[in-house]
């Protein structure tokens, strides 16, 4: 039922609100008219209660759930980040024109695409295709990890071409939509229609082509469409999450076809690119939230800390602006840290027990092997205890797991070490200093 309620909510509150606020909720239980949800932070819970509470209740009731109150508790879930990284649902296929493409996102243009070292090649290639001149490389194959701008670039090409060459039939769709079209044509026994439709386009762009891997008849049809268009000298643009050769369960003949043109990758973003993207988004938000002030250093902080993907970065900024505009506050570093605690936590660099052992043994000038070895002399045992304490503080490992990584020691040994170091930290300033320093270097 919650799934159904979610879909209804998405329709009434809009996709952006949905992704930012509702998707992170975990439905836990329903008791005595109280619906309980897990939320990533208190902030998300309060916001949802205040802004969407009534509507959630309303939709639950409409779906036959007896409920009159909502309760939110922090569950430590990283769901909001998962939601922020989840690909946006594909827009509906255009019904007004009899082209088989999807609607284009108005925000995804060349004007809004920020370039930097990691994406300049992909950007230049996309620009070239968008000029609409003679086909110089076919296909253009763009690949890279999630949220690095593949879809954005493809939409930008389509927008630009529509403007420059309005008579050209430009079709953009996801590989998934291609498959649905194909299956539908099979079901309706209209393969002729399908073939003539796809073979009549001037520019074909297929997004996330890895989707058709392992789907044999769709691959086959894709291959024929591809060849027919290339033979006619029509431009093709393809994207995928990895290089053609690395897509598993994709036929070899398709792989080699995909490699025939220009293959360019979008590299993971670097600090400057992230900062540039943030600055650009802030300029856009300024129109939506005039008068909102953002303190120096906040964007730098975000660009430094959220390195996973651009979609998460954007999600963080959206939430920050929404919150700041609600409470009418300036966006300060403190506010950002509070409001984005869950996202920041999920983006933290993960420290391993092995790394801790290495750093600590370097720091105390002892052999790494002694970390996990049997020696019990103080000069070795104490650093070992310190490493255990750090492992407890900086990793998600349980006491038994930590013990195992220290040469198979018992969890009570680890517990004792953690306690001992806690005591020393309060009484011995030298140890306190060592701990602080080690913690800082480990957390990078
Ligand atoms: P992909 O298709 O590679 O998973 P998207 O194209 O959907 O990624 O990009 C994810 C989000 O990040 C979009 O909102 C997009 O506008 C934004 N984005 C990614 N790269 C850039 C960039 N270089 N400049 C501006 N926005 C970007
Ligand atoms: Mg995409």
Q: What are 395-418's pLDDT values in tens digits?
A: 888 999 999 999 999 999 999 999
Whether 85 shows a pLDDT value over 50: the answer reads no
> What mean pLDDT comes out for the span 420-444?
89
Find out whether 151 is annotated in a ligand binding site: yes
Find out whether 214 is annotated in a ligand binding site: no
What mean pLDDT, rounded, does the chain reach? Answer: 88
Find out whether 195 is annotated in a ligand binding site: no
CA of 98 to the centre of ligand 1 (A): 28
Q: What are 218-257's pLDDT values in tens digits?
A: 999 999 999 999 999 999 999 999 999 999 999 999 999 9
Q: What DSSP line would sit under 59-74, residue for residue? A: HHHHTT---SEEEEEE
Structural domains of the chain sorted by starting position, each given as residue range(s) with its CATH number in brackets: 2-77 (3.30.300.180), 117-265 (3.40.50.300), 271-347 (1.10.8.60), 353-443 (1.10.1750.10)
Ligand nearest to the CA of 152: 1
In a mutational test of the pocket of ligand 1, which residue from 152, 240, 265 has the highest number of ligand atoms less than 8 Å from its CB? 152
Collapsing DSSP to helix, strand or coil, 241 comes out as coil
Whether 294 shows a pLDDT value over 70: the answer reads yes
Question: What atom in ligand 1 is closest to the CA of residue 266?
Answer: 3
> What mean pLDDT comes out for the span 416-428?
94
Residues pairing with 50 in the sheet: none
CA of 133 to the centre of ligand 1 (A): 26
Ligand nearest to the CA of 149: 1
CA of 277 to the centre of ligand 1 (A): 9
Whether 79 shows a pLDDT value over 70: the answer reads no
- What tokens does 207 get? 């997004």
Determine the pLDDT at residue 99: 58
Question: What atom in ligand 1 is closest to the CA of residue 155?
Answer: 6
Q: Check residues 123 and 292 and name the one with the higher pLDDT.
A: 123
Ligand nearest to the CA of 86: 1
Which element (helix H / strand E) includes 162? helix 150-164
Determine the pLDDT at residue 161: 94
Determine the pLDDT at residue 32: 85
Q: Which residues contact ligand 1 via a Cβ below 6 A?
A: 108, 112-114, 119, 144, 146-152, 277, 310-311, 314
> What mean pLDDT comes out for the span 121-150?
93
Residues pairing with 323 in the sheet: none
Determine the pLDDT at residue 78: 45
Question: What atom in ligand 1 is closest to the CA of residue 273?
Answer: 23
Ligand nearest to the CA of 206: 2
Contacts of 257 (CB under 8 A, 6+ apart): 223, 226, 227, 230
Question: What atom in ligand 1 is closest to the CA of residue 149?
Answer: 6
Over the Cα atoms of the chain, what is R_g?
Answer: 27
Question: What atom in ligand 1 is closest to the CA of residue 313?
Answer: 12
Ligand nearest to the CA of 116: 1
Determine the pLDDT at residue 444: 59
Whether 94 shows a pLDDT value over 70: the answer reads no
Q: What are 316-348's pLDDT values in tens digits?
A: 999 999 888 888 889 999 999 999 998 888 877
In a mutational test of the pocket of ligand 1, which residue from 16, 210, 272, 310 has the highest number of ligand atoms less than 8 Å from its CB? 310
Residues pairing with 36 in the sheet: 29, 71
CA distance 330 to 335: 8
Residue closest via CA to ligand 1's atom 20 equals 149
CA of 202 to the centre of ligand 1 (A): 25
Phi, psi of 92 (to 5 degrees): -60, 150
- What tokens does 210 get? 């890895």
Q: What are 5-63's pLDDT values in tens digits?
A: 898 888 888 887 888 788 888 888 888 889 999 887 777 788 888 888 888 988 888 88
Residue closest via CA to ligand 1's atom 5 equals 149
Whether 306 shows a pLDDT value over 70: the answer reads yes
Q: Are 340 and 319 in contact (CB under 8 A)?
A: yes
> What mean pLDDT comes out for the span 187-202?
92
Find out whether 328 is annotated in a ligand binding site: no
- What tokens does 286 get? 């300024």
Determine the pLDDT at residue 15: 80
CA of 247 to the centre of ligand 1 (A): 22
Instruction: Choose the weakest-confidence range: 132-136, 175-179, 273-277, 410-414.
Output: 132-136
Instruction: Choose the weakest-confidence range: 131-140, 152-161, 228-237, 376-385.
Output: 131-140
In a mutational test of the pocket of ligand 1, which residue from 110, 122, 141, 149 has the highest number of ligand atoms less than 8 Å from its CB? 149
Strand duo 26-31 + 34-39: pairing? antiparallel
Determine the pLDDT at residue 228: 95
Residue closest via CA to ligand 1's atom 1 equals 147
Collapsing DSSP to helix, strand or coil, 301 comes out as helix
% of the chain with per-residue pLDDT over 90: 62
Determine the pLDDT at residue 95: 36
Whether 293 shows a pLDDT value over 70: the answer reads yes
Determine the pLDDT at residue 41: 75
CA of 365 to the centre of ligand 1 (A): 46
């Amino acid at each position: 039922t919650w799934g159904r309620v979610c879909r209804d909510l998405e329709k009434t509150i809009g996709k952006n609100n949905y992704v930012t606020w509702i998707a992170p909720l975990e439905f836990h239980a329903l008791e005595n008219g109280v619906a309980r949800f897990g939320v990533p932070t208190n902030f998300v819970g309060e916001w949802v209660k205040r802004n969407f509470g009534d509507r959630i209740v309303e939709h639950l009731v409409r779906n036959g759930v007896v409920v009159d109150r909502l309760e939110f508790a922090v569950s430590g879930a990283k769901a909001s980040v998962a939601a922020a990284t989840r690909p946006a649902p594909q827009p509906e296929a255009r019904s007004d024109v009899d082209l088989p493409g999807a609607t284009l996102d108005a925000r995804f243009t060349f004007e809004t695409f920020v370039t930097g070292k990691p994406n300049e090649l992909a950007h230049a290639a996309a620009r070239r295709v968008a000029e609409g001149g003679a086909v110089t490389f076919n296909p253009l194959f763009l690949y890279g990890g999630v949220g690095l701008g593949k879809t954005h670039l493809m939409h930008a090409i389509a927008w630009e071409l529509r403007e420059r060459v309005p008579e050209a039939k430009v079709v953009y769709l996801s590989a998934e939509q291609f498959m649905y079209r194909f299956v539908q044509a099979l079901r309706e026994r209209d393969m002729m229609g399908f073939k003539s439709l796809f073979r009549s386009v001037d520019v074909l762009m297929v997004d996330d082509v890895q989707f058709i891997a392992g789907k044999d008849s769709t691959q086959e049809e894709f291959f024929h469409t591809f060849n027919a268009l290339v033979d006619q000298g029509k431009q093709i643009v393809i994207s995928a999450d990895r290089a053609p050769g690395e897509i598993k369960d994709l036929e070899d003949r398709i792989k080699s076809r995909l490699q025939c043109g220009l293959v360019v990758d979008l590299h993971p973003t670097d600090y400057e690119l992230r900062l540039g993207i943030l600055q650009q988004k802030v300029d856009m938000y300024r129109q939506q939230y005039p008068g909102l002030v953002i303190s120096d250093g906040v964007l730098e902080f975000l660009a430094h800390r959220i390195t996973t993907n651009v979609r998460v970065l954007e999600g963080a900024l959206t939430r920050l602006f929404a919150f700041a505009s609600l409470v009418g506050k300036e966006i300060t570093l403190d506010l950002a840290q509070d409001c984005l605690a869950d996202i920041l936590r999920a983006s933290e660099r993960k420290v391993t027990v092995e790394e801790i052992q290495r750093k600590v043994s370097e720091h105390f000038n002892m052999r790494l092997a002694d970390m996990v070895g049997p020696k019990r002399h103080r000069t070795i045992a104490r650093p070992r205890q310190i490493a255990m304490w750090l492992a407890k503080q900086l990793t998600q490992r349980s006491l038994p797991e930590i013990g195992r990584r220290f040469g198979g020691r018992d969890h009570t040994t680890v517990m004792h070490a953690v306690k001992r170091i806690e005591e020393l930290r309060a009484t011995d300033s030298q140890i306190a200093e060592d701990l602080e320093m080690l913690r800082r270097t480990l957390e990078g």
